[in-house]
Amino acid sequence: MNKIDTQWLIDQIRQEFKHILLGDGISLHQTDVVDDYLQDDEELMAKAKANDTDTRWWDVSIENIEKQNWGWPFFDIKGYRYYLPAFMTYYLKHAHRHDSDNAIDSMMYILDSDDYYQSYHATFNELQSRCIAMFLWQYCELNNWQDCDQAKNALVNYWDRFLSWCDNETDFQGDKEYGDGDTKNHKFAEPWLLKEIRAAFDKVRLEDGETIHQADTEGGVGLTKEQFKTLRKNDPEEFWWDIPLERFHAFSSIWSFLDPKGFRFYLPACMSAIITDPHRCIHEEWLIYALENISHYKQHPSFLTSDRVDILDDKQKRVVALFLWQYTLANNWQGDMQEEVSNALENYWFQFIQNEV
């Protein structure tokens, strides 16, 4: 069984959580105050927060993590989101340290919680959740799957849903017994495809393109300009990797109506979602139809399809082609959408990867 490379996972955590800030969230030292039910004392809270001078989670000191690590039940959502990547990274870097397990005990309890803290877990996007799931798996690997019941239970109760992938070339796979004796087989695609998507589309922003909610109105049919503009508030994400998968479930047919800028912005998000958790992303056929439609633009040109082609650069087109190719491999060149994927590749996209596959 191939294993996750620890340094690669550290880099992934840094990449996917890099925009998370603490802001006015509860800091490490403030959890002491909250534990004493004194969180309404502004002076005490300010004094406690002054002990946490970091402004980025990767600057949280080892000393603070090892000495101030028990307060996880007292974080608010902002504190939870801010310190989780810091503690995960700490453990991956210092698993050999004598106190490393003690330092993350309280965090592991929260990750294993399947009731109150579900609302906290749900604030992470798909790629962040995948990093957390991989951390739990790697924790078990580093401990040879011994004395790691909490991590196993956390996977079973919630996080293992983010480990699914249907590729036949796996980053790691294996049968592990965990929880109450259940055996599950997890498969990962090699992470290179997610990295390729991120690299090719990293600088893409929506700008004045149509959002998902706007596209759902088929270009604003029946709406005033002001009503159409107001719909943008329902899609507040600045970065495409922060878009929740559930929005693609609810608005699966938007691919027929997005303008070129909207198409370019949401395309990498949906491809990444399908890769990360294909069993939940059940409406990928709409994206496949759109990519097949683009492949016919030379034979049947239209304003929409030609502009969608022109707005993508060659690196982005290559990534789309790799996504389609991997989709066929994952489904063993079979399945309901195989004809459409094959047509899309043959008619247009394959030219961008013909020297690679």
pLDDT in tens, 48-100: 999 999 999 999 999 999 999 889 999 999 999 999 999 999 999 998 877 78
The whole-number pLDDT of residue 218 equals: 77
184 & 76 share domain: yes
Most confident of 140-144, 279-283, 294-298: 140-144
Q: Count Cβ atoms below 10 Å from residue 166 Cβ, excluding itself.
A: 17
Among 174, 190, 206, give the residue marking a domain's end: 190
Q: How far apart are CA 276 and CA 128, in angstroms?
A: 10
Containing structural domain, residue 323? 194-352
Q: How far apart are CA 127 and CA 120, in angstroms?
A: 15
How many domains would you assign to the chain?
2
CA angle 86, 87, 89 (to 5 degrees): 65
b vs e for 64-100, b when ≥16 Cβ sit within 10 Å of the residue's Cβ? bbbebbbbbebbbebbbbbbbbbbbbbbbeeeeeeeb
pLDDT tens figures, 156-212: 888 887 875 433 333 333 334 433 333 333 333 446 788 889 999 999 999 999 999
- Residue 35 inside a domain? The answer is yes
Among 148, 163, 190, give the residue marking a domain's end: 190
Per-residue pLDDT at 251 exceeds 90: no
46 & 164 share domain: yes
Per-residue pLDDT at 221 exceeds 90: no
Q: Which amino acid is at 200?
A: A
Q: How many whole angstroms from its chain centre is CA 222?
A: 35
121 & 14 share domain: yes
Beta bridge partners of 183: 177
CB-CB contact of 343 with 324 (8 Å): no
161 & 270 share domain: no
- Residue 215 inside a domain? The answer is yes
Q: Which residue has the tokens 């087109």?
A: 317
- Residue 1 inside a domain? The answer is no
Among 162, 190, 218, give the residue marking a domain's end: 190
- Residue 323 inside a domain? The answer is yes
166 & 276 share domain: no
184 & 205 share domain: no
CB-CB contact of 338 with 325 (8 Å): no
- Residue 357 inside a domain? The answer is no
334 & 237 share domain: yes
pTM: 0.54
The whole-number pLDDT of residue 60 equals: 96
277 & 337 share domain: yes
- Residue 240 inside a domain? The answer is yes
The whole-number pLDDT of residue 157 equals: 82
Per-residue pLDDT at 32 exceeds 70: yes
123 & 167 share domain: yes
164 & 69 share domain: yes
Handedness of CA 325, 326, 332, 338 (dihedral sign): negative
Q: Token pair for residue 38?
A: 């004194």
57 & 121 share domain: yes
249 & 140 share domain: no
Angle of helix 77-94 versus helix 100-112 axis, rounded to 10: 140
CA-based end-to-end distance of the chain:
24
Query: What is the percent of the chain with per-residue pLDDT over 90, rounded to a whole number?
Result: 44
Q: Which residue has the tokens 């929880």?
A: 179
Q: How far apart are CA 224 and CA 114, in angstroms?
A: 44
Q: How far apart are CA 54 and CA 63, in angstroms?
A: 13
Q: Token pair for residue 298?
A: 């030379």
